[in-house]
Amino acid sequence: MAQKTNQQVNPLGPESKEPRSDEESGSKTSAEELKRKKRIKLAIYIAAFAVFQTIVILVFALIVMRVKTPKVRLGNDATFHNVTTGNSTSPSFDINFTTQLRVKNANFGPYKYDSTIATFMYKGVTAGQVTIPKGKAGLRSTKKVGVTLNVNSKDLPSSANLAGDLKSGLLMLNSHAKLSGKVELMFIMKKKKSVEMNCTMTINLSSKEIHSMICE
């Protein structure tokens, strides 16, 4: 730091030359020396202030104004209602549940997103869908959106080995959603950001609980 300020004082060379010419003429007085020291001090203050300003601007540009991609995932908790799983000769599932979608926004400004659809799939086949209304995740906060939906095996081809899964007591569903929206910084700067949710949830059918939730 000290070296940097010294370097920045150097460009003020002409001023430090002045006393030297005084020395040559032999008319150096302590008053002039004092003046010279004052000027150097002032130059150091100005340089230090410039360095400080630069740091403030850099921090602002690198931390506050940097746009971070928000994150979307499903909460780890869910409440299940009316879990029906058919029987061994005609396996099926029909489950209603309530959970949370979490939009995590680490930006120094709100993230406003449009309405979208979250899709839940079993072995690549759509088992249920739910509309996520448009909303806003505030400055450096997580918006929690409650979702209630039904997932069922109506569209599942009979070739799928559903009976095996039901026997194990675990049902694995993949959920996907794409949010598109804008991050707003300092009320003026707007940057488009779309975020994808890709979560795999496994439901324990006997305890009617989330067995595992893995989000990318």
Amino acid at 143: K
Q: Hey, what are 143's tokens?
A: 């918006």
Q: At closest approach, how far in Å is the CB of 57 from ligand NAG?
A: 37
Q: For ligand NAG, which is the closer residue by CB, 48 or 170?
A: 170
Number of neighbouring beta carbons within 10 Å of residue 70: 21
Sign of CA dihedral 43, 47, 49, 53: positive
Query: In the 8-state DSSP scheme, what is residue 11?
Result: G
| Least gap, CB of 142 to ligand NAG (angstroms) | 21
Sign of CA dihedral 71, 214, 95, 175: positive
**Identity of the residue, 93 or 108, whose beta carbon is nearer to ligand NAG in the bound complex:** 93
The whole-angstrom separation of Cα 73 and Cα 152 is 22
The footprint of ligand NAG (CB under 6 A) covers 81-82, 86-87, 89-90, 96, 150, 169-170, 176, 196, 198, 204, 206-207, 211, 216
CB of 87: closest distance to ligand NAG in angstroms?
Answer: 4
Nearer to ligand NAG, 10 or 98 (CB): 98
Min dist CB 88 to ligand NAG, Å, is 7
Nearer to ligand NAG, 70 or 109 (CB): 70
- Name the nearest CA neighbour of 70 among 174, 178, 213: 178
